[in-house]
């Protein structure tokens, strides 16, 4: 899982040249590509330290993202606004990635993704403090329901609990903080530029840590690392294009299609399939997240209360 730039693109209700069906299709394609990256990362984590896997994910993603953006943006457009907030946001995303990759090394993809999906719930709960937003009783109920869903997946005190679940929850918390920082940056620049500098900062930080965990990859490992980065770059490119055709309120719920692909990859590649309690928790978290996404989209749209 890599956090998507939902909430970056727009708080507008209508986009010029809006084509919602095209946007939904691009969004679905993008989020279905992300589990392919995650599955590759899970495989590589069996041989390499999570820091090295994350470095490869950021490094190859950066190279390919630069290639994708080179023909779309002029050099002057690559200068970021609010560099301090960009750095903070990038740190939150790096924390998300490290916790997430650490968790999937030990747990099924779908389970980790479900717990990471509490990010929107966390961002909503913290919005009154971080953004000064007023949260109504309906969204507070949705927040509580989302945390109940996480408890159903975790089942603390039962034999199924795995310590790596705490890393998955950490990924969700960092993701929520990332979403808050992203919303603060909303409208301050192109989403593609924000993603670019997130990758740059991730590579810079992880490169400093790399000598302590480096293990020389074989040719096949390099190829898998490049494929992992390609999946990440392609997914973000598709998601960015999706927001050019439809608003966040429409695309937010589509992002949960990712969990279907994560279940498929986990089952086919690793033999993991969620049990009925995990499915129940997933359903509760997704329902809560979709409600929050739709509700916040309506609250930000013009002519709504």
Per-residue pLDDT of the chain (305 residues; tens, 9 = 90+): 655 554 444 334 445 557 788 989 998 999 999 999 999 999 999 999 999 999 999 999 888 878 777 666 666 666 667 778 888 988 999 999 999 999 999 999 999 999 998 988 898 898 888 878 888 888 889 999 999 999 888 876 555 567 889 999 999 999 999 888 877 776 656 666 777 888 899 999 999 999 999 999 999 999 999 999 999 888 888 887 887 788 777 887 888 999 999 999 999 999 999 889 889 999 999 999 888 887 776 665 543 33
d(CA 62, CA 55): 10
Give domain status of residue 220, yes or no.
yes
Q: Under DSSP, is residue 58 helix (H, G, I), strand (E, B) or coil?
A: helix
Give domain status of residue 269, yes or no.
yes
Q: What angle do CA 68, 119, 143 make, to 5 degrees?
A: 145
Give domain status of residue 182, yes or no.
yes
Give domain status of residue 28, yes or no.
yes
Single out the residue of 118, 105, 179, 103 nearest to residue 152, CA to CA.
Answer: 118
CA quadruple 53, 57, 58, 63: dihedral, nearest 10: 130
Domain interval for residue 190: 20-300
Please report the pLDDT score of residue 183 as a whole number.
78
Q: How many CB atoms lie within 10 A of CB 257?
A: 16
Give the count of domains, the chain. 1
200, 80 contact by CB (below 8 A): no
The contacts of residue 298 (CB under 8 Å, 6+ apart) are 249, 304
Single out the residue of 257, 236, 240, 233 nearest to residue 28, CA to CA.
Answer: 257
Please report the pLDDT score of residue 194 as a whole number.
74
Give domain status of residue 4, yes or no.
no
38, 272 contact by CB (below 8 A): no
| Residue 210 DSSP class | G
d(CA 191, CA 187): 9
Give domain status of residue 191, yes or no.
yes
Give domain status of residue 5, yes or no.
no
Please report the pLDDT score of residue 9 as a whole number.
40
Give domain status of residue 179, yes or no.
yes
């Amino acid at each position: 899982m890599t956090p998507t730039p939902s909430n970056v693109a727009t708080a507008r209700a209508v986009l010029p040249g809006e084509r919602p069906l095209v946007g939904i299709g691009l969004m679905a394609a993008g989020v279905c590509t992300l589990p392919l990256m995650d599955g590759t990362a899970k495989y590589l984590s069996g041989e390499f330290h999570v820091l090295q896997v994350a470095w490869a994910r950021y490094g190859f993603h950066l190279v390919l993202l630069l290639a994708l953006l080179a023909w779309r943006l002029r050099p002057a457009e690559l200068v970021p606004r609010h560099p301090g907030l960009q750095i903070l946001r990038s740190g939150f995303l790096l924390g998300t990635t490290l916790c997430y990759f650490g968790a999937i090394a030990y747990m099924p993809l779908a389970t980790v993704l479900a717990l990471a999906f509490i990010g929107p719930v966390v961002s909503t709960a913290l919005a009154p403090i971080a953004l000064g937003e007023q949260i109504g009783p309906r969204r507070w109920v949705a927040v509580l329901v989302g945390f109940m869903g996480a408890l159903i997946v975790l089942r603390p005190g039962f034999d199924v609990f795995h310590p790596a679940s705490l890393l998955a929850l950490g990924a969700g918390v960092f993701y929520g903080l990332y979403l808050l920082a992203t919303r603060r940056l909303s409208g301050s620049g192109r989403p593609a530029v924000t993603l670019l500098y997130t990758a740059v900062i991730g590579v810079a930080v992880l490169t400093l840590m790399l000598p302590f965990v480096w293990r020389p990859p074989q040719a096949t490992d390099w190829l898998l690392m490049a494929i992992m980065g390609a999946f990440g770059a392609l997914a973000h490119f598709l998601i960015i294009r999706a927001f050019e055709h439809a608003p966040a309120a429409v695309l937010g719920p589509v992002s949960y299609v990712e969990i279907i692909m994560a279940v498929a990859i986990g089952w086919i590649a690793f033999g993991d399939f969620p049990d009925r309690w995990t499915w129940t928790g997933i359903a509760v978290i997704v329902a809560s997240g979709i409600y929050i996404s739709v509700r916040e989209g309506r609250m930000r749209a013009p002519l709504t209360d």
